[in-house]
Amino acid sequence: MADTHSVIGTKNKKGQTFTDTWKMMNEAPRTPSFYTGSEVIKEALRRASCDVMIAYPITPQSEAAALIGELFAEGYIGDYFRGESEFAVMSQCAGAAFGGARVFTTTAGPGTMRAMENFPMWSGARLPIQMIVTCRGINSPLSIQPDTLEIAYLLNTGMLVWHAETAQDFFDWILKGYMVSEEPDVHLPLALCCDGFFVTHTKDVVNLTPADMCLPPYDPYRSPVPCMDMECPPVRMMRDPFIMKSNYISYATHASWQQEVWAAVERSRKHTIKWLNGLIETENTDAEVIIVASGTAVSQGREAIRLLEDEGIRCGLVKIKVLRPWPGEEIREATKNAKHIIVPEFNVTGWLAKEIKATIPNSERVNAGPRVCGGMTMPPEIIVSEIKTLLGMRTMSLAGRGS
């Protein structure tokens, strides 16, 4: 029987030392390295003691999936293959996780949408699969460019949803993500999202933990449900499902089951705060104007804040790291002094602004934009312009805005 703690200090077949994750992430020396986001995914996975990786090629995650294939060839991954489609991939991930494996996959855009049926199933079955979502456009006409609309669809699946700003976030959160999602009181899948291309295909300096250290292996005996067993739910429920019974008992069971999944999302809060040092990060929250964003919109917000400072305008920042569980209390506290809350987003619907409006008092303070979509970039100047307009200041004319 596996015991996570008993292997600490021993070596795996690649000569890596199973290391206490807290020490590995917080105390071990870091080496600055110049990598793309895709390469960072590979380097994180090299240290993740991952049993199974399955993916299907779709831009912009294909490069990461291919690089992880190299890891498999080097012997760092237990098993690795390409599924027949994203739907097949996510089903195969479920099979591997049901069997007690630590599972990793990557997807993007239409692939995420195609596989969508699997995600509430993963949550309901309490499978702690980690899925990297390198967000891109999902709509017709086809676009492979960055766009975060697919995150909106993931928010109500019962998965944990984190949104990385940088490649450094990515490296750290892949490893920490397993620690949160594999806790027995959580034990849920994690969708670790980033903005495709901006993070995956851009080189950045990332501080890596030593390559000869790796996470302790997953211990399936801590799972809140039995490993795959055809006589027990969740497998048995598929074969002889109470969902097929129309009676009060089946409804009560289903209601409790759903409530338990969302209770587990809530319970992840305690562990996520510990590992990520909070669900949000803040700067200058005493300012009258605060930018609240997630993903690379945070980076653009930082640059806008620098430009505004040059003009003597003080602006605060809230970086939302975790979307599920939703950091409502933290956002309320961070924005309590703000007169204007600016929410820049890389999608057409403004799902983040809607979430924030539903969270805070006096939601008319929320300015749902600026928004770009379909692969457009977001120059910090348009955030600056939006803020100056709100403040009743003269702003420069921006092409395409008619101002």
Partner 1 sequence: MGICLPNPGEAHINGVIVPEEKAYEEAAKQFLMAKVPTLFPGPLVLWAWNEKAAKKATAIRHLYNTLKECVQPGQTPMLIPMPDYRPKYPKINPEVEINPNHPNLTIWHNKIDCCMFIGVHCHQANLSLKIIRGGTSCYTIAMCAQAGHEDAMLSFRDASVEKIMKLADAVKRLKGSVKPRLTSAKHGA
Closest CA to 97 of 51, 148, 132, 151: 51
Closest CA to 213 of 23, 80, 51, 71: 23
CA dihedral sign of residues 262, 268, 65, 68: negative
Residues in contact with partner 1, counted by CB under 8 A, come to a total of 32
Strands 190-195, 160-163: pairing kind:
parallel
Closest CA to 341 of 385, 288, 295, 298: 288
Q: Which is nearer to partner 1, 156 or 256 (CB)?
A: 256
Q: Is the peptide bond before 234 cis (omega within 30 degrees of 0)?
A: yes
- If binding is defined by CB under 8 A, does position 6 make contact with partner 1? no
- If binding is defined by CB under 8 A, does position 396 make contact with partner 1? no
Output b/e per residue, 377-394; b: 16+ Cβ within 10 A.
Answer: ebebbbbbbbbbeeeeee
Segment interacting with partner 1, rule: CB under 8 A, options 34-42, 152-160, 231-239, 305-313: 231-239
C-beta of 265: minimal distance to partner 1 in Å? Answer: 10
> In this chain, which of 14, 82, 201, 267 binds partner 1, going by CB under 8 A?
267
Q: Between 72 and 111, how does the x/- string for binding to partner 1 read (CB under 8 A)?
A: ----------------------------------------
Q: Which is nearer to partner 1, 42 or 324 (CB)?
A: 324
C-beta of 12: minimal distance to partner 1 in Å? Answer: 24
Strand partners, 324: 161
Segment interacting with partner 1, rule: CB under 8 A, options 21-29, 77-85, 265-273, 353-361: 265-273
> In this chain, which of 2, 238, 263, 393 binds partner 1, going by CB under 8 A?
263
What number of helices (H) and strands (E) belong to the chain? 14, 16
Segment interacting with partner 1, rule: CB under 8 A, options 106-114, 249-257, 343-351, 388-396: 249-257
Closest CA to 135 of 275, 294, 313: 294
Cβ atoms < 10 Å from Cβ of 279: 22
Q: Which is nearer to partner 1, 126 or 371 (CB)?
A: 126
Question: Which of positions 171-230 make contact with partner 1 (CB under 8 A)?
Answer: 183-185, 187, 222-226
Strands 31-36, 52-55: pairing kind:
unpaired
Instruction: Tell me the C-alpha distance between 81 and 92, whole Å.
Output: 10
Q: Which is nearer to partner 1, 79 or 266 (CB)?
A: 266
- If binding is defined by CB under 8 A, does position 270 make contact with partner 1? yes
Question: Which of positions 120-159 make contact with partner 1 (CB under 8 A)?
Answer: 126
Q: Which residues in this chain contact partner 1 in the complex, by CB under 8 A?
A: 1, 126, 183-185, 187, 222-226, 231-233, 236-237, 240, 242, 245, 249-250, 252-253, 256-257, 259-260, 263, 266-267, 269-270
